[in-house]
Structure 1
């Protein structure tokens, strides 16, 4: 199954996450198919904190990819709505 989830990077106690499309059998920081965004929890401004390539996010959801719980909450907090047909702006 294809999943859209976070891949951790950054230094110790200063995480930086990439939003990646990967096979669910791969490890958290292992191989991935495509990088479609990032999430930096230490930046206060919302515009620089989360970034998604929405067209690729829509494409992968239309292909049957499942979002992890954390990515789903990030997508919703970034004012995108998710339904079975894909993601669209609010």
Structure 2
């Protein structure tokens, strides 16, 4: 199963996350199948490639709870 989830980047106490498509059983910081966007929780900045997200959702990728709440702000 494929999931859309957050991959932690950045440095200690200043995280930045990539929104990625990964196998469900892979590690949090493992190899991503596709990169869909970025999220900076400190500045609340969210950048997402909406077309890629819609494509992966149509293929059956399941977003995590946190990613689903972020995507609701962008994808209608």
TM-score tier, shorter chain, comes to: over 0.9
The 2-side partners of 1:73 and 1:15 are apart by 18
CA deviation profile, 1:37-66 (whole Å, cap 9, x unmatched): 00001115xxxx001100000000000000
Aligned equivalent of 1:70 = 66
Unpaired runs of 5+ residues, structure 2, are: none
TM-score, normalised with respect to structure 2: 0.94
Q: TM-score, normalized by length of structure 1? A: 0.80
Tell me what 2:28 maps to: 28
Q: Which has the larger radius of gyration?
A: 1
Structure with more contact order per residue of length (Cα contacts < 8 Å, sep ≥ 6): 2
Structure 1: unaligned runs, 5 residues or longer:
82-90
How many residues are aligned here?
76
Instruction: Specify the alignment match of 1:11 in structure 2.
Output: 11
State the Cα RMSD in Å: 1.0
24, 36, 47: which one aligns with 1:51? 47
